[in-house]
Amino acid sequence: MIFGKSKRRVDGRRRFRRNVARKVVARAPVRLDFAGGWTDVAPYTHDVGGEVVNLAINKYATATLEVDDDGILTVSYTCEVPVGSGLGTTGAINVALMGAISAMETDDIGRKALAEQAFQFESLLGNKGGRQDQWAASHGGWNHLMFMQDDVEEMPLVPLSSATKWLQRQLVVVNSNITHVSGELHKNIWERYEAGDKEVEEGLMAIRLTARAMAKAVQQDRR
């Protein structure tokens, strides 16, 4: 996990012009992984290709960048759900951070580039994971994503209003108070995968196929 706390304040090394105080706040949503998670991670994306259906929800990570009158940059962030809860909090925090930096530099880089910047930032810090969290945080709403090598393709997905309303009535997100570090979870599985473990290979394929089924299901009215 890149950020071990839900709130942190650090002094940046970059200095801006004196007497030009500025403040930028950006936020990005966390997500629910409905199907396909794990298949968005290399080397699986290079060997087979992954597929995920997820949904960004109205819980957010917020990043704040402030430049004081002396030109000192300060960064802080918060998250409305516990970091390590399995809702893509790290990806959301980093998308919010990249968005705040982009706004501070008055550079609108677009959602896809924002997601990729957040992913690359995490990779530089040693986090082994996929790209679904960053894409959900930068795009919001429903997402049906295909992962081929290092590319992400956004597939058409328009759930029926009946499916969305049903989820709003029935879906409950509960904090179990059980936290995890995604990199540690990934380590054992990918070691087995790279060793040619058939059980892992079959499991990942089954997970990927559930994403295709999920995308189809939410676009059908089964009332």
How many angstroms from the chain centroid is the CA of residue 28?
9
pLDDT tens for each residue of 154-201: 999 999 888 888 888 889 998 888 887 777 778 889 999 999 999 999
Can you give the pLDDT at residue 58?
Answer: 94
Quick check: is 198 in a domain?
Answer: yes
Quick check: is 8 in a domain?
Answer: no
Q: Determine the 3-state secondary structure of 59 from DSSP.
A: strand
Q: Determine the 3-state secondary structure of 64 from DSSP.
A: strand
Other C-beta atoms lying within 10 Å of the C-beta of residue 153: 11
Instruction: Residue 112: give its domain's CATH number.
Output: 3.30.230.10
Show the tokens assigned to 213. Answer: 């089924």
Model confidence at 18: pLDDT above 70: no
Quick check: is 186 in a domain?
Answer: yes
Quick check: is 114 in a domain?
Answer: yes
Q: Determine the 3-state secondary structure of 173 from DSSP.
A: coil
Q: Which residue has the tokens 């960064």?
A: 75
Quick check: is 3 in a domain?
Answer: no
What CA–CA distance (Å, rounded) separates 203 from 209? 10
By residue count, the chain amounts to: 223
Q: Are 35 and 53 in contact (CB under 8 A)?
A: yes
Mean pLDDT (whole number) for 197-219: 96
Quick check: is 9 in a domain?
Answer: no
Q: Determine the 3-state secondary structure of 108 from DSSP.
A: coil
Mean pLDDT (whole number) for 105-124: 90
DSSP 33: E
pLDDT tens for each residue of 143-157: 999 999 999 999 999
Model confidence at 9: pLDDT above 80: no
DSSP 92: H
Range with top average pLDDT, 8-22, 104-118, 177-191 = 104-118
Model confidence at 78: pLDDT above 50: yes
Q: How many domains does the chain have?
A: 1
Quick check: is 18 in a domain?
Answer: no
Quick check: is 12 in a domain?
Answer: no
Structural domain range at position 171: 23-220
